[in-house]
Amino acid sequence: MSAVDTSPVVRKTALNAVHRQMGAKMVEFNGWDMPVEYPASIGGGIVAEHMAVRTAVGIFDVSHMGDIRLAGPGALAAVQHISMNDASKLAIGQAQYSALLYPQGTFVDDVIVHRLGEDEYLLVINAGTREKDFNWVRDNTTQFDCNVEHLSDDFTQIAIQGPKAVDVLQKLTDADLSAVKFYWVTRGKFCGLDNILMGRTGYTAEDGFEIYIPSHEATSAHVWYSILDAGKEFGILPCGLGARNTLRLEGKLPLYGHEISDTINVWEAGLDRFCKMDKPEFIGRAALEKAKAEGVKKTLVGLEMVDRGIARDGYKVLDEAGREIGYVTSGSPAPFLKKNIALAYIPPEHSAVGSSVKVEIRGQGVGARVVPTPFYRRPKKA
């Protein structure tokens, strides 16, 4: 048997046994034993799971994501200091995409900031950066009157994503989900559990929700199977990290360690609209001001392969003459768009939509062109 299964350093979510029981193919991801896809025998596979989310509904175990709670009279000031978006704009129950930055204007992590109460904020962070993020937040907020708690292990986080997500979940809760706008949260009874946090958020470029339930194994399994049951009439599929990656790529949602990292700044990543320079102060602001004046040397673009071939993470991008000009951060076949797409960092002079470049695949320059992003945008509700 594979050694990683029993290694103490590989962590498991409360749903691990459920995934195995369902026959999921498991992989190690950022120190977690996670499902990459479910078996064809239950309708799974990355392509089928991806299509379920685009056209119906899918359910993901995202309990490896972390949670940090800041609460107290100084919580807003603390959040403002450590994050680039403007949390003062959040109403109670509202959420925003943001990021924690180093003083150099590069990324500690990207986060979703939820305002849960008058002086209470919840940051949802990435799996691979949990400890780093918590230490960063704790160490950089000591001057504020607020408590910082690491709640990552308290929650099983389940994402229900797709145009039918709202219909599935409405069967299981007394909260009026149709009244919850995108990037807002509500609380309600869910599957018999009281006061469950449900956010209309996700990482698939589709409508959907993320719910936070106690990380008790039997409770988690009960909720998981109840959602699958409620979703049966809508064609729900359990989805693994494989589909999660292709879905987020079609929507140009950044992945830490790929599009954003400690060596990439906000302007290069093109996340300007989530970075509020009119805030007087936050960590990274001074460096970003300087970087803006200097201009960027590389910028994130979307590529579509013109010739036959699939760009993959780390492949070189070449100009038409074959000179190396950049690199692919994420590349894959796009199951819904049925194209081979990639995100890449290249110099601004090559980044205009329509520009021709090449991607080096097994020693050969394969034709690609710069295309508008996101590659996929969900259709507006009629």
- Closest approach of Cβ 319 to another protein, in Å? 24
Indicate whether 335 belongs to the interface with another protein (CB under 8 A). yes
Of 65, 60, 90, nearest in space to 75 by CA: 90
Stretch that binds another protein, among 135-143, 161-169, 215-223, 329-337 (CB under 8 A): 329-337
Give the residue ranges of DSSP H helices in the chain. Answer: 16-21, 46-55, 75-82, 130-139, 165-170, 217-231, 241-250, 266-269, 285-294
- Closest approach of Cβ 298 to another protein, in Å? 25
**Residue number with CB closer to another protein (36 or 342):** 36
* Residue 42: C-alpha distances to residues 39, 46, 229 (Å): 6, 12, 14
H-helix or E-strand containing 339? strand 339-346
**Residue number with CB closer to another protein (4 or 17):** 4
Indicate whether 305 belongs to the interface with another protein (CB under 8 A). no
> What number of H helices and E strands is found in the chain?
9, 19
Indicate whether 332 belongs to the interface with another protein (CB under 8 A). yes
Stretch that binds another protein, among 79-87, 224-232, 273-281, 330-338 (CB under 8 A): 330-338
HSE value, Cβ hemisphere, 13 Å, CA-based, for 87: 30
Please give the order of strands across the beta sheet that includes 120-125: 95-101, 107-117, 120-125, 66-71, 147-150
**Residue number with CB closer to another protein (238 or 270):** 238
Of 333, 277, 266, 271, nearest in space to 305 by CA: 333
Indicate whether 238 belongs to the interface with another protein (CB under 8 A). no
**Residue number with CB closer to another protein (156 or 332):** 332
Answer for which of 18, 32, 34, 45 binds another protein (CB under 8 A) is 45
Which positions lie near another protein, rule CB under 8 A? 1-2, 25-26, 36-37, 40, 45-47, 242, 245-246, 308-310, 312, 332-333, 335, 362
